[in-house]
Amino acid sequence: MNKFNIGVIFGILIQFGTFVWFLSSQNSKIETLYKFYEAESAKEVITNQVKMKLDLENMVISVNEVTKELTKIKKQMERFTKKTNQISNQIEKFHKKERKGTIIQQSN
């Protein structure tokens, strides 16, 4: 009976030792993978930051170009408004002269 108990205890100890060894090897693999993914994640973060900075610079350049174009359009609109006002004034003068001319013609 004593031999049986020692055999069972020895078998349980071997299984327990194997289990501990298995868990430690798994832990080692997990730590290695974690370090690898942590490094890859840091690379991706840096890459994304560089991309975001480039996108921001491109957007600033685009905004500056749009601002310049809007300034040009504003100047063109101001010139157009001045020309339109000049034409309106000329038309108004023409109508005044025409009315004066018709009044003079009617009185004759």
Q: Name the CA dihedral angle for 31, 33, 39, 45, rounded to a multiple of 10 degrees.
A: -120
Q: For the whole prediction, is pTM greater than 0.85?
A: no
Helix (H, G, I), strand (E, B) or coil at 85: helix
pLDDT at 58 over 90: no
pLDDT in tens, 22-42: 999 999 999 999 999 888 888
Q: What is the pLDDT of residue 62?
A: 85
Residue 14 to residues 6, 18, 21, 47, Cα–Cα distance (Å):
12, 6, 10, 49
Q: What is the mean pLDDT of the chain?
A: 86
Please calculate the CA angle 53-54-57 and round it to the nearest 5 degrees: 85
Domain boundaries, the chain: 1-78
The sign of the dihedral angle between the CA atoms of 25, 30, 33, 35 is: negative
Q: What is the pLDDT of residue 16?
A: 94
